Chains A and B, each alone.
Chain A
Amino acid sequence: MGALIGWFCHYTPVEIITALGFTPYRLLGREGNTPRADTYLVGNLCPYVKSCLETAIRQELPPLAGTVIARSCNAMIHLASTWPRYGGRGATLVLDVPRRLDEEAVLYYSQDLRRLAGELARLGERQLEDSLLWQAIDAWEEQRSCWRGLLAARARGEICLSGSDVMAWLDGWQTGMTAAGRDKGQAGSATIEQRSRPDFRGRPRLMLAGSILPAELPALVEEWGGWPVCEDACNGRRFLLAEVARETGDPYLHLARLYLGGPPCPRMVADQTRRQQYWAGVVNDYQIDGVIYHVMKFCDAAIYDFRAMKDFCDRRGLPLLRLDGDYTGGGRGQWQTRVEAFLEMF
């Protein structure tokens, strides 16, 4: 296993990291308050970002050779400024992620990815050749495809998976993946298939949505009587992207198209029609009965995305519940009351 490179946003192309012999390590923060990060970043900023900074300040992270910070939203932009000084050790590399999907954006993103690859290569001993990058692209696509297949089977009702197990395995998969080790993703999904056979039949089938979901939310919803069947979050379904036709030629163009063309995050503000189409696809494919939207505190994208989700649900006649959360694991008592009341509607 190569040296670890930390990353945050799901628009970060992990293929480049693995192709250079590093191991991508997703930073998902920690449970609990963030008193130290609060001294460096203001109170009303994304709790996920502050949670990640807190883990770095407390030195709870494994040694990282570097960290890739995608300046995908305002909180991440500020994290990119703060991280080198107060946070992580190792190099800090920043990536600009377009907020739109068109040929201009794909071209620009591909150029920025090539630049990132050059900067990452300087941290290691390997030069990045296109052939190595294609290998990494194939390896990751194989793993994602495996996960997508599993979730599709779950959607069709062929297998019954617990949302908490899916999230836990996805989290584990994102923190420590090697280019060659596709077996881990396959083994992970196979293990879920074998051991997770909860009987949730008869319960309302729910989509959990939000910018990033607290890991414990699916388990709690299950505990309180719901059945999460799709997690529309950047640490859930969105991270698995969507299959795209392989381009010959420039691997960076392929990556740009793959990532920008995946299920759109609330930040893709110029792409809202596609986001609504994505929701419609999920609701149909997963036979969704209702939606629980987790609005991360101080996340501007989620605040307005919830509005769009509300309009969508109103049009489809889908029950919708808004849960506000701060990523610290607090507020469970309030959530429980609200989720139980929501589930009574079914």
Chain B
Amino acid sequence: MDIYQLIRSHLAGPLRRRAFKSPWAYRLLKQLVAAQKKRYSWQAAYELLLNTIDQVAAAYLQQGPVVWHNVFFPTEILYGLGLVPFAPEAAAAVAVGLGVAEEAFRVAEGDWVSGESCSFHRLAYGCDRAGYLPPPGAVVCSSHLCDAAPQSLAAAAGYHNVPFYLLDVPHRQDAAAFNYVARQLKSITFSLADALGVPWDQERFQEALLASNTAREHLLAVNRLRGQRPACIRGDEAHGFIYLMLAGFGSGAAAAVYRQLAAELEQRWREQRRAVPEERARLLWLHLRPYYPTEIFNLLEQKAGAVVVFEEMHHVYWEPLDPARPFYSLAGKVLSHHGLGCISRRIEAILAMVDAYQVDGVIHFAHWGCRQSTAGLRLLQDALRDREIPFLNLEGDCVDKSKYAPGATRTRLEGFLEMLRAV
């Protein structure tokens, strides 16, 4: 082996890990991003990136008690307590871009987390064991939608020897379920505060709920603008904002980014600046997208003019929160998720999106191992067929690029586009 290659292989990992813990790395990164401000086609994306860097820095530099959470846990509680939220599933998506995925997958599989499980969690598990993630002070997780998240986060809590709090979410939306979730949320909130030595601040907690409501209002404005023809933002660009849905609600930053995005969309709409030169079809995207380079969006949007006008993940499914009844209203938010319970709820929500965004076709990205999203697709497919809406179930993996088959993906997309033209 080449001596330089050998040295690099020994140093690359430790250096990368050390960079995460260096304040200089974040300063440098922010300066690099700021230097390229004008190159961002959306200033909202630029702001989102700066805020995300700050949030990541806060976690790695341990600027406060770090709490790991899954992406469906109501983060308003964490922001309301003044904690530093960190979502390992979101970190897994970032890990792909940083080039540590292969190593992390190897670590996870070597530790018996088999390839049959969700690769987001497998990747997060590997990143954690390889020392890439900031150690948590506590771990919180909700049980709804996904089986892998509670299991992998409970394992992480055990590994770091920190408290684990499970929000057990039933599938009904009756009064008993409401009370059960609200009581758990209250108990988790005060247990977290106790365990992490954070003083309870009613005003700060209410501010987080109000910030969540403001973000919700701005997101609704964004969504209304995306319902208009022609589309002013490509799905490829809009996907980046999903991070806020998963980890940002309750922070002032989420509200600011959505406000900026709504303003930019409004302006482009007034100026009739189209997302693509000729909008030939409008698509709804279900679940997430691959976080490594693929030609999917280029094929759909740039070449075929089939714009992804909305993503299921951006659907606002909950009512505004009531700061006077924080835990009950957060329980309402959790229980309102359209993916919870019988699949008929998800189908109903998707059909409503089909109408609201005037879509011509629906693509579901079937992420390997995500059983909550993929298992009941046959019923969704039947419902869309009844409405004569073309549907494509595109199989792949959001974070494991070794599962990406460019040829097969292209063939399936081209077939789908032909079907759209025929409709």
- Chain A residues near B (Cβ < 8 Å): 39-42, 44-45, 71, 73-75, 77-78, 80-82, 85, 94, 96, 98-100, 104-105, 107-108, 111-112, 266-267, 269-270, 272, 295, 297-298, 300-301, 303-308, 310, 322, 324
Cβ distance A62 to chain B, nearest Cβ, rounded Å: 26
Cβ distance A125 to chain B, nearest Cβ, rounded Å: 27
Return the contact of A108 from the options B117, B180, B379 (Cβ within 8 A). B180
- Contact stretch, chosen from B2-10, B229-237, B367-375: B367-375
Interface string of B159-195 (1 = CB under 8 A from A): 0000010101011100011011001100100000000
Cβ distance A205 to chain B, nearest Cβ, rounded Å: 24
- Report the Cα distance A128→B297, complex, angstroms: 58
Return the contact of B147 from the options A44, A82, A301 (Cβ within 8 A). A301
Cβ distance B350 to chain A, nearest Cβ, rounded Å: 14
> A42-B366, A44-B368, A303-B113 known; A269 and B343 CB under 8 Å?
no
> A96-B171, A104-B184 known; A45 and B177 CB under 8 Å?
no
Residues of B within 8 A of A77 (CB): 171, 341, 372
Cβ distance B377 to chain A, nearest Cβ, rounded Å: 7
- Report the Cα distance A81→B342, complex, angstroms: 5
Q: How many residues of B contact A (CB 8 A)?
A: 45
Are B117 and A303 in contact, CB atoms less than 8 angstroms apart? yes
Are B376 and A96 in contact, CB atoms less than 8 angstroms apart? no
Interface of A is mostly: helix
- Contact stretch, chosen from B19-27, B74-82, B150-158, B209-217: B150-158
Are B112 and A306 in contact, CB atoms less than 8 angstroms apart? yes
Q: Does B336 make an interface contact (CB < 8 A)?
A: no
- Report the Cα distance A74→B374, complex, angstroms: 11
Are A75 and B166 in contact, CB atoms less than 8 angstroms apart? no
Residues of B within 8 A of A99 (CB): 143, 150, 166, 168
Are A304 and B155 in contact, CB atoms less than 8 angstroms apart? yes
Are A307 and B143 in contact, CB atoms less than 8 angstroms apart? no
Return the contact of A300 from the options B147, B158, B171 (Cβ within 8 A). B147
Q: Does B103 make an interface contact (CB < 8 A)?
A: no
- Report the Cα distance A85→B376, complex, angstroms: 12
Q: Does B203 make an interface contact (CB < 8 A)?
A: no
Residues of A within 8 A of B366 (CB): 42
- Report the Cα distance A15→B147, complex, angstroms: 28
Interface string of B41-70 (1 = CB under 8 A from A): 000000000000000000000000000000
Return the contact of B154 from the options A74, A269, A295, A324 (Cβ within 8 A). A269
Are A298 and B371 in contact, CB atoms less than 8 angstroms apart? yes
- Report the Cα distance A304→B158, complex, angstroms: 12
- Report the Cα distance A78→B373, complex, angstroms: 10
Q: Does B111 make an interface contact (CB < 8 A)?
A: yes
Return the contact of A270 from the options B168, B369, B377 (Cβ within 8 A). B168
Residues of B within 8 A of A81 (CB): 342-344, 376, 379
Residues of A within 8 A of B166 (CB): 99-100, 269-270
- Report the Cα distance A251→B375, complex, angstroms: 36
Which residue of chain A has its CB nearest to the CB of B371?
A74
Are B377 and A112 in contact, CB atoms less than 8 angstroms apart? no
> A112-B170, A270-B168, A295-B114 known; A41 and B378 CB under 8 Å?
yes
Are A78 and B375 in contact, CB atoms less than 8 angstroms apart? yes
Residues of B within 8 A of A301 (CB): 147, 151
> A100-B166, A304-B152 known; A269 and B143 CB under 8 Å?
yes
If A75-B375, A100-B168 are given as contacts, then 14 extra A-B residue pairs at C-beta distance below 8 Å, sorted by A number, are A42-B375, A44-B371, A82-B376, A94-B171, A98-B168, A112-B170, A112-B176, A295-B114, A300-B151, A301-B147, A303-B117, A304-B154, A305-B151, A324-B114
Return the contact of A45 from the options B183, B341, B371 (Cβ within 8 A). B371
Cβ distance A61 to chain B, nearest Cβ, rounded Å: 21
Residues of A within 8 A of B111 (CB): 307
> A81-B342, A269-B150, A269-B154 known; A304 and B375 CB under 8 Å?
no
Residues of B within 8 A of A96 (CB): 170-172, 177
Are B112 and A307 in contact, CB atoms less than 8 angstroms apart? yes
- Mark out the residues of chain B between 366 and 413 whose CB falls within 8 Å of any chain A CB in the assembled complex: 366, 368-369, 371-372, 374-379
Q: Does B295 make an interface contact (CB < 8 A)?
A: no
Interface string of B92-114 (1 = CB under 8 A from A): 00000000000000000001111
> A41-B375, A45-B371, A111-B176 known; A304 and B151 CB under 8 Å?
yes
- Report the Cα distance A306→B113, complex, angstroms: 9
- Mark out the residues of chain B between 119 and 169 whose CB falls within 8 Å of any chain A CB in the assembled complex: 143, 146-148, 150-152, 154-155, 158, 164, 166, 168
Are A42 and B374 in contact, CB atoms less than 8 angstroms apart? yes
Q: Does B118 make an interface contact (CB < 8 A)?
A: yes
- Mark out the residues of chain B between 342 and 372 whose CB falls within 8 Å of any chain A CB in the assembled complex: 342-344, 366, 368-369, 371-372
Residue of A40, A45, A71, A300 with most chain B CB atoms under a 10 A cut-off: A300
Residues of A within 8 A of B152 (CB): 304
Are A44 and B112 in contact, CB atoms less than 8 angstroms apart? no
Are A78 and B170 in contact, CB atoms less than 8 angstroms apart? no
Which residue of chain A has its CB nearest to the CB of B116?
A298
- Report the Cα distance A314→B400, complex, angstroms: 30
Residues of B within 8 A of A100 (CB): 166, 168
Cβ distance A343 to chain B, nearest Cβ, rounded Å: 21
Are B368 and A307 in contact, CB atoms less than 8 angstroms apart? no
Which residue of chain B has its CB nearest to the CB of A304?
B151
- Report the Cα distance A77→B114, complex, angstroms: 23
Return the contact of A75 from the options B170, B171, B368, B371 (Cβ within 8 A). B371
Residues of A within 8 A of B378 (CB): 39-41, 82
Show 14 residue pairs from A and B whose CB-CB distance is below 8 angstroms, ordered by the A residue.
A41-B375, A42-B374, A74-B146, A80-B342, A81-B342, A94-B342, A99-B143, A100-B168, A266-B151, A270-B154, A300-B117, A301-B147, A304-B113, A324-B114
